[in-house]
Amino acid sequence: MKAFYACLDCAFVKYAPQPLQHLAVANKAAKQGGEVSFYTLEDFETLSYQGAAKHKLAERPAVNGLIFFTLRQFFYGSLHLEFLNSILEQGYEVHFAREDVSIHNKEELDQIFPMIYSSYQLMHRDEPREYWRPVWDSLDDIPDSKDPKVEE
């Protein structure tokens, strides 16, 4: 049975709580014929360069691959294609639970690059920092839906 290291997304915990991310990652591991051996989470300070994941990888964990909660973890700060390449070059598979995407080698990365690139561009172009605010504002009984400073 394959073993995977899970890399959860701390930036997304507000919308997908950690237990839910564990479930999604475990499901993705099962689909790959394996299970999760352990997990890590970035600090907010390391999100833009995936410091915790890189640190773990440097230990050469005895797993078949890494399962990230979402592809977006490679979009924080920039498009981290270099890190994705480097994981594959070290012989690890890369999987994404939220998108149900698997990349086993560099050829598969080349194949899926148009989707990765367009997802990155669309996230930056179409999702402003306050992406969910229109929903909160239309349901204006939610406490943090209005910024008191801009209320008349």
Partner 1 sequence: MDVKKFIERGFDIVAVEDLDKLQGMRDQIYRKAADLMGGTNQDAEDFMNNFHRQELRGPALNTMRMDLIRYCSEEMDIGQTIFDAFSDQLIGLLGPDVVVQKTTNLVIQQPGDPDQVPTHRDSPLNSPFEIVCWIPLVNIYGTKGMYILDRDKTDVALNMMKSSESGYDKHAKLTETEGHILEMPFGHALFFWPGLVHSVGINVEQETRWALNIRYKNLFAPAGAKGQSEFFKVLQLSPLTKMALEFEKEVYA
115 binds partner 1 (CB under 8 A): yes
Distance CA 95, CA 100 (A): 7
79 binds partner 1 (CB under 8 A): yes
21 binds partner 1 (CB under 8 A): no
114 binds partner 1 (CB under 8 A): yes
78 binds partner 1 (CB under 8 A): yes
- The token pair at 42 is 């970035």
Distance CA 54, CA 38 (A): 15
118 binds partner 1 (CB under 8 A): yes
121 binds partner 1 (CB under 8 A): yes
Written as one letter, the residue type at 106 is K
Sign of CA dihedral 128, 136, 11, 27: negative
117 binds partner 1 (CB under 8 A): yes
Total chain residues near partner 1 (CB under 8 A)? 26
* Alpha helices (H) along the chain: 18-31, 51-58, 81-89, 106-126, 133-138
Task: Give the residues across from 8 on adjacent strands.
Answer: 41
Q: Which of 8, 26, 98, 103 is close enough to bind partner 1 by CB under 8 A?
A: 98
> Which residues make up the interface to partner 1 (CB under 8 A)?
71, 78-82, 85, 96, 98-101, 110, 112-119, 121-123, 125-126
